Structure 1
Amino acid sequence: MGVYVRTALPVLLLAAGTAGVILRQSQEPKELWGYVQVRNKVHMFWWLYYANNPTKEFTELPLVLWLQGGPGASGCGYGNFEEIGPLDKEMKPRNTTWLQAASILFVDNPVGTGFSYVDDCSLFAKNLTMVVSDMMAFLGEFFTCRTEFQTIPFYIFSESYGGKMAAGIALELHKSLLDDNGLAEVTAVAKEIMDAINKNQYGLATELWGKAEGVIEEVRSLSNNTDNVNFYNIMTKDVPEVKSDEEENLHLVRLYQRHVRKMHKNSLDELMNGPIRKKLKIIPDCVKWGGQSRQVFENMAEDFMKPVIDIVDQLLAANVNVTVYNGQLDLIVDTMGQEAWIRKLKWPGLVQFSQKRWKALYVCPESMETAAFYKAYENLAFFWILKAGHMVNDELLGV
């Protein structure tokens, strides 16, 4: 989901991936990193790369804040070295980077993610309100210290679950600135989930979400219906890690394994806890990159299934430009699901938006290969990216 706030600090949010732009860096970018104590005993880690454009100063380009999904996946690690940062996980210059278009600020959020950490396990964020509060504390400190970014456009890009957090952050910023059998089984669990949500039983809804994925997992393992479909890209296969059924909160554990732990691959884990730790020189000895991520995920369980449609309605009412987009092959954040919640908006322009026809976007001006479809009305737009899964920026370049 994308949002652009027309205020002194414009804000753009993108969830479920990022439409890739082919950019090449000209030289090694200037970078800074550090910690902000957002609450007592709560430490948030950030990593900033200044824009690296051969013809423009960084002050002529916007600042992009990148938030990873999960919750509990590290933007400073995964987003940085696996997706959009200047270097890949082999520490080699990336062929595609956004640094010619913007400065990039990675933040390990919520607290406990990546190199962020808490001194007391009771201090993990447990809901969107706490996540937003921590991020507002961070942003206040960041912009106070980095005055060079106070007068340039500010964009928030977020991926997957990060879209929910980013929507809440955007609204708070706006306020502060004034400004078959298998199908039957899955369907049955989906109805249970909706029933739990309608009864405000969000913890139960999260557990049932895990159960629903478990049903899909069983179907894809025991039959040819899905042939081990990957939750992030239905055109690829995936063999999930299986934990003992005796472990407590099994559905929650499996959700963590599918959606957060996979972002802490061995090679990336070794990089972050080895060469990167040595480079940064400020990571406490007691902190391991990603070491608190499972606790982050579990502490947010009650908040997973709470809808934020009302927040989007408030953003639209505040004349914020909202862009929603999805990869065609994404299962975990699927296009039909996005269309379904959009239909629940109370925004006055929804009828006109729904009546709009899809328009095609092409890979490049010289090509007639369709890369995406989109439609827009007033301050709401929807992009449907073809041949792309959950990590749109990894799978489709040049749109």
Structure 2
Amino acid sequence: MKRSVAQMVILCLIVSCTIGEIKAVRSNSDGSEAWGYVEVRPKAHMFWWHYKSPYRVEDPSKPWPIILWLQGGPGASGVGIGNFQEVGPLDTFLKPRNSTWLKKADLLFVDSPVGAGYSFVEEKELYVKSDEEAAKDLTTLLQQLFNKNQILNHSPLYIVAESYGGKIAVKLGLSVINAVQSGKLKLHLGGVVLGDSWISPEDFVFSWGPLLNYVSRLDYNGMDLSNSLAEKIRKQLKNGEYVEATETWMELESIISLHSNSVDFYNFMLDSGMDPLSLTTSEETKKENRILKKYSRYLNDLRSANNVDEGDLDTLMNGVIKKKLKIIPKDLVWGNNSGNVFSAMQADFMRPTIEGVDELLAKGIDVTIYNGQLDVICSTSGTEAWVRKLKWEGLQEFKKIEREPLYCENDRTRTRGFTKSFKNLHFYWILGAGHFIPAFHGQAARPKEGRGW
């Protein structure tokens, strides 16, 4: 089966605005990486970090994709988590990551919404309150980065999101389309990729009780309590009580934790606190000597920074990385998730975005969905439920298609996932993975052409 560029990119998972200006940009002499701030609104500063892949193909007949990575939360740091713990060139020990997605694409990490990670606002009233506002800020950033850079605006951009980032990705995709059509943005949108994404909170909370009961993490009493609170959330959403629904969601998570002996919401095979982002990448670093030359350009002055505390991300981001970047405000303390951002968006947190996915599909945009088998918070069954609510004209045919098995490299002794596609909708079931699929699958989790991963 011939695969589109979008599908080849996602196989890594087994896959004129005048507001503000780019300032304080720093790049290597060979152009391999650059970073900076964009003032997306007065006194609202968004941080970005672009890695140009050493594998980049400059042949215009072979378009080289750019992945814009959107972290979840809302308020989690893509520059920190997505970069150093999932798909970037270096891990939290500053060792080369053999499974980096740079082998198939350039990477653009952002700390979005403003207030996450290294991004900041000068006044608390400037935090965004909705996914639409977050998407508008990101569109402003893309205008500043892409409009005057022919290498960027001639390359297909894939918006790849994880968790809550998926809600923002849908809104951003629609915002990008409008900006391109109006002539305000020079960019080719290759597709939107939704990884374990919080698209329909109602469908997810209703999936939790039955899923955890089926895998023996909840008994029937616990499942009944879970279902009861999920029903309360459904009524609140129907009445437009979104803040109240968020509060009930918090209560529901607490009830499930109590009755499951603290199941990890990112992987039902684990207890809370055992998620993969706390694990090392020792297996990957065994091959580091072979790839060090290709990634040595990203090491810069970090090469000798061996004083990182056991790969601790907070120590890394507030220490040697902050020192390397040079432009981060001295009084800014990096955090992996901003409570201020989450609080500001509390009224939008439980609002569904299924209609936005429908709109992207209707406009012909490639939409790729992938889900980890072991995820709870954005469970596969919850994702399948909201997909079945799409009004997209191709849905019935999509549902009829049989899935194809996926294998890792040339090893066909173990099924690693399943996939099926119809027109511009693609779905990947990733076996053995939880919420943070790249952190689980390592070598398997990067772009690869052909049938397998």
| Bin for the TM-score computed over the shorter chain | 0.7 to 0.9
- 2:243 is aligned to 203
Q: Distance in 2 between matches of 1:48 and 1:88?
A: 16
Q: Is the 8 A contact 1:12 1:156 kept in 2?
A: no
- 1:238 is aligned to 272
SS at 1:234 equivalent: strand
Count of residues paired in the alignment: 353
**Would you say 1:213 and 2:253 are equivalent positions?**
yes
**Would you say 1:182 and 2:222 are equivalent positions?**
yes
Aligned partner of 1:43: which letter? H
**Would you say 1:42 and 2:44 are equivalent positions?**
yes
Q: Distance in 2 between matches of 1:311 and 1:339?
A: 16
- 1:261 is aligned to none
Superposition deviation, residue 64 in structure 1: 1.2
SS at 2:176 equivalent: helix
**Would you say 1:129 and 2:132 are equivalent positions?**
yes
- 1:267 is aligned to 312
Q: Distance in 1 between matches of 2:134 and 2:419?
A: 31
Matching of residues 86-235 of structure 1 within 5 Å: 86-178=89-181, 180-221=220-261, 228-235=262-269
SS at 1:56 equivalent: coil
Q: 1:377 aligns with which of 405, 408, 422?
A: 422
CA offsets, 1:111-145, max 9 Å, x none? 00000000000100110111011111111111134
**Would you say 1:352 and 2:397 are equivalent positions?**
yes
Q: Distance in 1 between matches of 2:40 and 2:9?
A: 22
Q: Is the 8 A contact 2:81 2:336 kept in 1?
A: no
- 2:343 is aligned to 298
Superposition deviation, residue 11 in structure 1: 12
Q: Distance in 1 between matches of 2:164 and 2:99?
A: 24
SS at 2:272 equivalent: coil
Superposition deviation, residue 292 in structure 1: 7.8
Q: Is the 8 A contact 1:58 1:103 kept in 2?
A: no
Provide TM-score, normalisation by structure 2. Answer: 0.73
Q: Is the 8 A contact 1:11 1:170 kept in 2?
A: no
SS at 2:101 equivalent: coil
SS at 1:235 equivalent: strand
Identity %: 43
- 2:288 is aligned to none
Superposition deviation, residue 200 in structure 1: 1.1
Aligned partner of 1:94: which letter? R
Q: Distance in 2 between matches of 1:73 and 1:363?
A: 30
CA offsets, 1:245-298, max 9 Å, x none? xxxxxxxxxxxxxxxxxxxx9911111111111111101122111288110111
Change in Cα spacing, 1:298 to 1:128, as seen in structure 2 (3 Å) is same
Q: 2:377 aligns with which of 332, 349, 360?
A: 332
Supply the RMSD in Å over aligned alpha carbons.
Answer: 2.5
Superposition deviation, residue 29 in structure 1: 8.0
Superposition deviation, residue 44 in structure 1: 0.2
Superposition deviation, residue 370 in structure 1: 0.5
- 2:281 is aligned to none
SS at 1:105 equivalent: strand
Deviates more, 1:230-239 or 1:284-293: 284-293
- 5+ residue gaps, structure 2: 16-29, 182-188, 190-219, 275-309, 445-452
CA offsets, 1:146-195, max 9 Å, x none? 33211111111111111111111011112222391100000000001111
Q: Is the 8 A contact 2:89 2:102 kept in 1?
A: yes
CA offsets, 1:220-246, max 9 Å, x none? 23xxxxxx3211011112259xxxxxx
**Would you say 1:51 and 2:46 are equivalent positions?**
no
Superposition deviation, residue 48 in structure 1: 0.8
- 2:361 is aligned to 316
